[in-house]
Structure 1
Amino acid sequence: MDLCVTIKGVSFLLQTGMGILGNTVVLLVYAHIIFTEPKVLPVDMILCHLAFANLLILLTRCVPQTMTVFGLTNLLNDPGCKVVIYGYRISRALSVWITCMLSVFQAMTIATAGPHLSRLKPALPFLVLPTFAALWLFNMAICIAAPFFSMAPRNGTVPAFMLNLSFCHVDFKDNLSYVINGVAVSGRDFAFVALMVASSGYILLLLHHHSRQVRAIRRSQGGGAETRAAKTVVTLVVLYVFFFGINNVIWIYMLTETKVPPVVADMRVFFSSCYASLSPYFIISSNKKVKAKILCAAEQDQPASMDTQESHDK
């Protein structure tokens, strides 16, 4: 195995391992919160769902990609490729949509209540679960075409309009289908990224120009917590937009070239998965509730380990 392949393999392995660990920890913490606390904040439900979507991205894209880099071939047959590609398309769409939902929800939460918003705000917590259901159903419907183009890798030359994912191929048959798919996916993502950027910009504007008013209005409603949540949301959006920009620059290049070097495709996979891998660690470091649960679990585990050691010493 040459140096380039080794670096690529180690990079994917670290990204996949760290991402799965981080998202699993976030999911376990929020599962504990949901089952032990009488009231769960809507933002916690959204962050939990975001961690689940990001975990699916890593399992359906990064795990098989990492295994392929290390020389494991014939991982999936045609039905397996169809399931994996379909799952990846849904989870990738959910990741951007839920991040957008998080940004819009937080902007509406901290916004100064007008005549229309004052009637909508009390209903926001009750709209979270129906929105999740609608997002799943809608994305399952719009991604339904992906399995029809997916297949296991074939021996021989890869056609010009086939998307080579190493572990699976996506055959678009002709240039028109290839470009339409790329434009449709990028256009959809750009629309939601624009919405999340706009709502995050509104949050920053509100926090900057009306900080005193916001503190006064929210003091009795936990304004400090809302402000921290707003800053967390804005940072998550910035993180997503950064990696989204890199990913789409590479994707546009791939759309305009008929023969793309494999290293370019690998770079796109890596950067497109960075948000799924890094976002849980930012949630852990910035969310006091999640951090407190993890520290509490660690403190409970430490005395148990010490008691076990003492019993062995005796």
Structure 2
Amino acid sequence: MTFLLQTTVGMLGNFSIFYHYLFLYLTRYKLRATDLILKHLTVANLLVIFSKGIPQTMAAFGLKYFLDDLGCKLVFYVHRVGRDVVIDATCLLTLFQVIMISPGDSRWAGLKIRAPRYLGTSSILCWVLTVMRSVLIPFYMTDKRNNTNIIVKADYDYCNAVYSGIITESLYVSLLLLHDGFCLGLMVWARSSMVFILHRHRERVQYVHGNTVSTRSSPESRATQSILVLVTTFVSFYSLSSIFQVCIILFDDPSWLLVSISALINGCFPSACPFILMNRISSVFKVLLSLDEERNTH
């Protein structure tokens, strides 16, 4: 029931965002620069939910043999592509925000004009690199019926991961840790930079206005809180996801509990993203752009 609830909520939320952008496209509404990244993020979320949430829910209800060998390879390959694109798209969004609010004398100033033009190319590049990076997945996945002359490494209830050699497993773990560690570290640095910029702006505003500043929460404070929620939620889920993925690969015959918790964690961010993070991303970007416009007027 937990997998079913998570999958249903995630599908409803992401399809709502998808239809929202489809409606804006059909009505020729001019989208913001960040909307392009959010569209790619929504598609990647749906891929994760379809390839992991639905099969895991079917397996939890007792269906074990609904995928053949090709189906297992395809489902796990699509899941890996969707998962990594979610990480890449969120990291790209964070970097774009840092560039757009950077002061005019910073090292990012030269990219502020060109950055919006490169968002489309950067998003497509994320997909291409992820598709190429995930080619190792099909080599160690097979269906439940194919149990002859193979060594089962891990049981995913509806598919099996087979032993594919020390070199292949070591290469896969290295690529996983390198990609996830780099993106998560870059996101933490970028979010920290935004918090620092907002803090400096708030101090400058307080110095200019003195004691006349309202006691209400300032836009900088609200944006800072949203940034902290974003980075904490995202980094927590995907750090745990990376740890569980590595444990499943390195352990021989990992327990059912470990596999199930890993699948549940992998679906948390894609399911919660439309309800919690999309609104915060939008509100943060509006505040950051307003600060940038205010800086340019002065």
Same fold flag (TM > 0.5)? yes
| Residue 121 of structure 2 is aligned to residue 130 of structure 1 | yes
State whether residues 179 and 255 of structure 1, in contact with CA within 8 Å, keep that contact through their aligned partners in structure 2.
no
Q: 1-side partners of 2:228 and 2:98: how far apart?
A: 10
| Residue 238 of structure 2 is aligned to residue 244 of structure 1 | yes
CA drift of 1:137 comes to 1.4
Equivalent of residue 47 in structure 2, options 56, 78, 85: 56
What is the aligned partner in structure 2 of residue 111 from structure 1? 102
**Range with bigger deviation, 30-39 or 257-266:** 30-39
Q: 1-side partners of 2:144 and 2:118: how far apart?
A: 43
| Residue 263 of structure 2 is aligned to residue 272 of structure 1 | no
For structure 1, list consecutive stretches of 5 or more residues without a partner in the other structure. Answer: 1-9, 216-223, 290-314
1:18 maps to amino acid: V
5 Å-filtered alignment, 1:64-103, equals 64-103=55-94
| Residue 22 of structure 2 is aligned to residue 31 of structure 1 | yes
Over residues 206-227 of structure 1, what are the superposed CA-to-partner deviations in whole Å (9 max), with x where a residue is unaligned? 1112236599xxxxxxxx9999
Identity of aligned residues (%): 26
Aligned length: 273
CA drift of 1:36 comes to 2.8
State whether residues 163 and 170 of structure 1, in contact with CA within 8 Å, keep that contact through their aligned partners in structure 2.
yes
SS of the residue corresponding to residue 210 of structure 1 reads helix
Q: 1-side partners of 2:39 and 2:200: how far apart?
A: 31
Describe the shift of the 1:49–1:108 C-alpha distance in structure 2 as closer, same or farther (beyond 3 A): same
Q: 1-side partners of 2:230 and 2:255: how far apart?
A: 31
1:71 maps to amino acid: G
Q: 2-side partners of 1:256 and 1:83: how far apart?
A: 22
Over residues 181-221 of structure 1, what are the superposed CA-to-partner deviations in whole Å (9 max), with x where a residue is unaligned? 22321221111100011101101111112236599xxxxxx
For structure 2, list consecutive stretches of 5 or more residues without a partner in the other structure. Answer: 207-217, 284-298
**Root-mean-square deviation over aligned CA pairs:** 2.9
Equivalent of residue 180 in structure 1, options 146, 155, 171: 171
2:202 maps to amino acid: S
Q: Which runs of 4+ in 1 moved over 4 A?
A: 155-161, 212-215, 224-234
CA drift of 1:285 comes to 4.7
State whether residues 153 and 252 of structure 2, in contact with CA within 8 Å, keep that contact through their aligned partners in structure 1.
no
Equivalent of residue 43 in structure 1, options 34, 37, 41: 34
**Range with bigger deviation, 72-81 or 87-96:** 72-81
5 Å-filtered alignment, 1:218-297, equals 232=226, 234-283=228-277, 285-286=279-280
Q: 1-side partners of 2:9 and 2:160: how far apart?
A: 26
Q: 2-side partners of 1:12 and 1:138: how far apart?
A: 30
